[in-house]
Amino acid sequence: MQIDAHEAPPSLGVVRRCLSAQPSTSLKESPELPKTGHEPQVYTTHSYDKITNLRKQYLTPNVTSYYKKPLLIHKGSMQWLFDHEGRRYLDMFGGIVTVSVGHCHPKVNAALEEQMNTLWHTTNIYMHPKIHEYAEKLLSKMPGDLKNVYFVNSGSEANDLAMMIARLYSGNQEIISFRNAYHGASPYTMGLTAHSTWRYPLPGVSNGMIHAMNPDPYSGIWGGKNCRDSPIQTNRHCDCPADQCLASGKYYNELEQVFKYSLPRGKVAAMFAESIQGVGGTVQYPKGYIKRAAELVRANGGLFVADEVQSGFARTGEHYWGFEGHDIVPDIVTMAKGIGNGFPIGAVVTSRKVAEVLSQALHFNTYGGNPLASAVGIAVLDVIDEEGLQKNALDVGTYLLKGLDKLRDKYDVIGDVRGKGLMIGVELVSDRETRQHLSAPHFVEIWEMCKDMGVLFGRGGLNANVLRLKPPLCVTRSDAEYALTVIDFACETFLKKRKRGCRKN
């Protein structure tokens, strides 16, 4: 899809009019999408205006859309999405880190169709084969004694249940999570989530919740060039010796203060941590911190819960699970999103000893582990293995990270590049020295340009200034190269425009 001056949407057209006043020999022409053999069927449903009106009339007003002119997507194929006019987009966000093996993957589609023609639904008051086959296959991926699973329908449900299990098992009430963490938006998990933008003023939400200092090597109090388990380190200056992170110990000391001052002595129910923070902007912790934190929690009677909703299922490349990068075996693992490639399914995995606390009363989930979800889950696990998607996540993700690092060297607007595998964040700033976030209008200008050139990135961080790159794991090097070219083009265009003081009409 070549975007030229005649076909460009208004936002890109404005940028080009600004640039035309002072022609540049260095600014490349807008790049062209990689080829694909997939041709989507023609969209024949309601018009764009009709869908827009139906959305405004019937959906609750909190349901918002990306972009100034929201996309109307009607078809997906692997890493590609197609809108109602047939325009093709490289999906570098995977339906919010959910499409793990590719949109409409043929093997997953076939498994779902076969199960639909066999048995749609029966609850676990009866036995059906798929949930048992799926449990065995999923748990074969888990280390240690993590050999019991309870299936739910979403990440919020999974974390809800993990909170209850931890409190029942420990006999304690207080639960620790990090500032900047996101663990769900249900009334129960809202207390775990430590973003003001996701919290409603409801009584009891924060009951028993403690938010510890976020150990962020880029924007936190401490951190620098030797802190992260990533191919790319922050360029923030620090006094750490080579291959040693001093910030880890300093953040750990702050966590110890929470136990000393904010908890009943020796009594905590659990600590929750995403292996890499997702909604918070792909934040990674200093090396060694999570392992020491887990030990501290257990020494005080609690369980350590790894939230793998976004970082699980081979996304980090080096490991199948994000927590493996921290050299720990959690007490509970919660998962969703990529587990079902877009089908609603989640899970809580723990040991038999911990799981037994659920026998104290009846607990039931009508749809958890239903035949359709289980069939999809099995197919997703098979595809990850058969198509070598963990290795692909490592190879393509490392290629992306190194390319983004070169762009950081080139453009001051890129303050930080971080992540592992295909869980990547690019933080945009207005001042690299102070790490001041790029304002929303300026971020949106770059973000919209990327969309206009056919690449869809997510948006994250408390200040919504982080490009989130979490594509389907089937994305290729040529796709990665195109995404890099688009970011390069958008940053160069943005900075040239800002330098000239050009304003939109």
pLDDT, tens digit (0-9, with 9 covering 90-100), for 301-356: 999 999 999 999 999 999 999 999 999 999 999 999 999 999 999 999 999 999 99
CA distances from 75 to 26, 39, 337 (A): 36, 10, 19
Question: Range with the lowest mean pLDDT among 3-17, 193-207, 264-278, 301-315?
Answer: 3-17
With tokens 């959906």, the residue in question is: 59
Give the pLDDT confidence score for residue 29 in this predicted structure.
63
Pair 336, 158: CB distance under 8 Å: yes
**Residue ranges of domains in the chain:** 48-100+389-502, 106-387
Give the pLDDT confidence score for residue 37 in this predicted structure.
80
Question: Residue 363: CB partners within 8 Å, gap ≥ 6?
Answer: none
Residue 180 pLDDT greater than 70, yes or no: yes
Tell me the pLDDT tens digit for each residue of 101-153: 999 999 999 999 999 999 999 988 999 999 999 999 999 999 999 999 999 99
Strand, helix or coil for residue 336: coil
With tokens 């900047």, the residue in question is: 180
Give the pLDDT confidence score for residue 6 in this predicted structure.
29
Give the pLDDT confidence score for residue 504 in this predicted structure.
43
pLDDT cut 90: percent of the chain above it? 86
Confidence grade of residue 4 (pLDDT, cut at 50, 70, 90): very low
Q: How far apart are CA 91 and CA 479, in angstroms?
A: 10
Tell me the pLDDT tens digit for each residue of 11-23: 333 333 333 333 3
Pair 297, 268: CB distance under 8 Å: yes
Write a three-state SS string for 379-406: HHHHHHHHCCHHHHHHHHHHHHHHHHHH
Same fold, 48-100+389-502 and 106-387: no
Short-list 78, 49, 16, CA closest to 449: 16
Tell me the pLDDT tens digit for each residue of 397-425: 999 999 999 999 999 999 999 999 999 99
Residue 239 pLDDT greater than 90, yes or no: no
Tell me the pLDDT tens digit for each residue of 454-502: 999 999 999 999 999 999 999 999 999 999 999 999 999 999 998 877 5
pTM of the predicted model, to two decimals?
0.91
Pair 138, 347: CB distance under 8 Å: yes
Helix (H) / strand (E) containing 425: strand 423-431
Mean pLDDT over the full length of the chain: 92
CATH of 106-387, one of 3.40.50.300, 3.40.640.10, 3.40.630.190, 3.40.50.2020: 3.40.640.10
Residue 67 pLDDT greater than 90, yes or no: yes
Q: How far apart are CA 455 and CA 374, in angstroms?
A: 32
CA triplet 205, 207, 212: central angle to 5 degrees?
Answer: 95
Question: Residue 430: CB partners within 8 Å, gap ≥ 6?
Answer: 413, 436, 437, 438, 439, 442
Short-list 139, 136, 100, CA closest to 383: 100
With tokens 């899970």, the residue in question is: 347
| Residue 335 burial by Cβ neighbours in a 10 Å radius (0-12, 13-18, 19+) | buried
Residue 358 pLDDT greater than 60, yes or no: yes
In 3-state terms the chain splits into helix, strand, coil percentages (rounded to 5) of 35, 15, 50
Q: Which amino acid is at 319?
A: H
Confidence grade of residue 91 (pLDDT, cut at 50, 70, 90): very high
What superfamily does domain 48-100+389-502 belong to in CATH? Aspartate Aminotransferase, domain 1 (3.90.1150.10)
Strand, helix or coil for residue 104: coil
Question: Residue 352: CB partners within 8 Å, gap ≥ 6?
Answer: 145, 147, 148
Give the pLDDT confidence score for residue 12 in this predicted structure.
35
Residue 289 pLDDT greater than 80, yes or no: yes
